[in-house]
Structure 1
Amino acid sequence: MKAPALMITCEHASNAVPDFVLRALRDSKIPDDVLASHRAYDIGAYKVFSNLVKRLKPDFHCSSRFSRLVVDMNRSATNKTFFSEYTVGLPSSVKSHMMSLWEKYREKIENFVASEIPARARKNEKNAPKEAPLKVIHLGIHSFTPILNGIERDADVGILYDPSRPAEVKIAQTLIQNIHERAPWLKIRKNYPYLGKSDGLTTTLRQKFGPSYAGLEIEINQKLLNF
């Protein structure tokens, strides 16, 4: 049986802002200190993503080119944080252009998953059996700020997944074991500092492709990263 395809993505890889957004913002541009902060992108995540791509040679990899303060590639279009406080008030024509950036990013990823899980093999997420032949393993690479709203995050690495999906539980356990073998001093927590079932790219792909897809997000504390 063919091994599952490996896909690695990085949704918050960059803090870049497209020129057409800069022109639309005019005097209300995003402050430089905000663009340099965790609010604009996942600091250090792209470096981890690049290293993993080189070492693991995944079947597919993809990273976002623009800041989440433009549009959040890891959120559904209906999410209230899809546009940031800086872009939510821009003209609809500009927002439509930003939306197209999100659509193109998502389309590339979904096209790859669809090539590995043909339509006849997909099952509705609600009605499908919990286990099915695994076709795609997706690792989304993220990082988190050590302190948020004055509270220190109590983890070095977080592994986010859906506990109701056996394949994701098994992969999460394997990841944790492998990390501990290489760096036993790291504190690793499951579904921390966010829940793996929250709105995001992995959630969307689970719904569209069923249990033949397994999506996990790896969250790394930025205090561990050199940037």
Structure 2
Amino acid sequence: MPQGKSDNSLDAVEVINPEGAGEVVLLCEHASNHIPARYDGLGLDAAARASHAAWDPGARDVALQLSRALDAPLVAGRVSRLVYDCNRPPEAESAMPGTSELIEVPGNRTLTPEQRAERVGTVYRPFCAAVTDTIAARRDRGQRSVLITVHSFTPVYFGQRRETEVGILHDADSRLADAMLSEAHRLPHRRIARNDPYGPDDGVTHSLKLYGIAGGLLNVMIELRNDLLTDAAGTGMLAQELLTLIGPALASRAAQDGEASDA
């Protein structure tokens, strides 16, 4: 079911297990399709508000299961990405899109600079602060952090079927993505691909660059096809399969980093 807060809430972000002892920090920028009442539904009908355009169905459920298994903090958005996409910088048109695939977003078509600034201040900045504060607190405790962001994507986009089931995405730093992809043989039944269905040229690696690369953290973005996430059995299976990739990849990277420090 769609996730979200009540219309009276101004909270834009939740932090789950903030003191997790594992090495991973999880982000789920598009965890909710909630549109606060002050935005009057953005002029969307119920179908559009429930669609993949408004959020990443199933992503939060998978991220929660990863958080429990990895004892990882999870920073998750509580506001629809159609209000503000927290995986985009304020200057990007796609941060508050007037159109998402085939869905027109009337409430975003004629935003004034002041209206855009209000969304940046009440949705994007709190999300950024939650991520940076979580990582900083871990650093103060002497904990290493590895950044993993969790997303889902629609199986049909602009009428084209997508065959990829699990996308492993990266920007300039491909170390963790490379390590995960090297473990893909463990899931021979899955169609796993690099930088598909999206890649850096699509503007989807903002969080990786802002919190991962800029902070010197290993980082990767995971995209899951959302027709695999329609129920608890599906999200549970994908979470376990991701752990099959993540665990060995982290161990491999730790070993390589250790060898480099000894050189």
Question: Into which bin does the TM-score normalised by the smaller protein fall?
Answer: 0.7 to 0.9
Q: Which has the higher contact order (CA 8 A, sep 6+)?
A: 1
8 Å contact kept, 1:7–1:61: yes
Deviation for aligned residue 1:11: 0.5
8 Å contact kept, 2:213–2:219: no
Query: What is the aligned-residue RMSD (CA, Å)?
Result: 2.5
8 Å contact kept, 2:22–2:70: no
SS at the partner of 1:9? strand
Q: Percent identity?
A: 26
Deviation for aligned residue 1:64: 0.3
The aligned length equals: 198
What does 1:105-144 correspond to in 2, within 5 Å?
105-116=127-138, 135-144=144-153
Q: Residue 37 of structure 1 aligns with which residue?
A: 51
Deviation for aligned residue 1:20: 1.4
Q: Residue 19 of structure 1 aligns with which residue?
A: 37
SS at the partner of 2:148? strand
- Asked whether 1:223 is paired with 2:223, we answer no
What does 1:42-57 correspond to in 2, within 5 Å?
42-57=56-71
Q: Sort the Cα spacing of 1:222 and 1:115 in 2 relative to 1 into closer, same or farther, 3 A.
A: same
8 Å contact kept, 2:22–2:71: no
Stretches (4+) displaced over 6 A: none
Q: Residue 126 of structure 1 aligns with which residue?
A: none
Deviation for aligned residue 1:177: 4.8
Q: Sort the Cα spacing of 1:92 and 1:78 in 2 relative to 1 into closer, same or farther, 3 A.
A: closer
Say which structure is richer in helix. 2
Structure 1: gaps spanning 5 or more residues: 119-133
Q: Residue 188 of structure 1 aligns with which residue?
A: 192
- Give the Cα–Cα distance (whole angstroms) in 2 for the partners of residues 73 and 6 of structure 1: 20
Q: Among residues 2, 5, 9, which one is paired with 2:27 in the alignment?
A: 9
8 Å contact kept, 2:147–2:212: no
Deviation for aligned residue 1:68: 0.6
Letter in 2 for 1:190: R
Deviation for aligned residue 1:112: 2.4
8 Å contact kept, 1:113–1:136: yes
- Give the Cα–Cα distance (whole angstroms) in 2 for the partners of residues 32 and 214 of structure 1: 39
Deviation for aligned residue 1:93: 4.5
SS at the partner of 2:214? helix
TM-score (norm 1): 0.77
8 Å contact kept, 1:40–1:69: yes
Q: Sort the Cα spacing of 1:193 and 1:223 in 2 relative to 1 into closer, same or farther, 3 A.
A: same
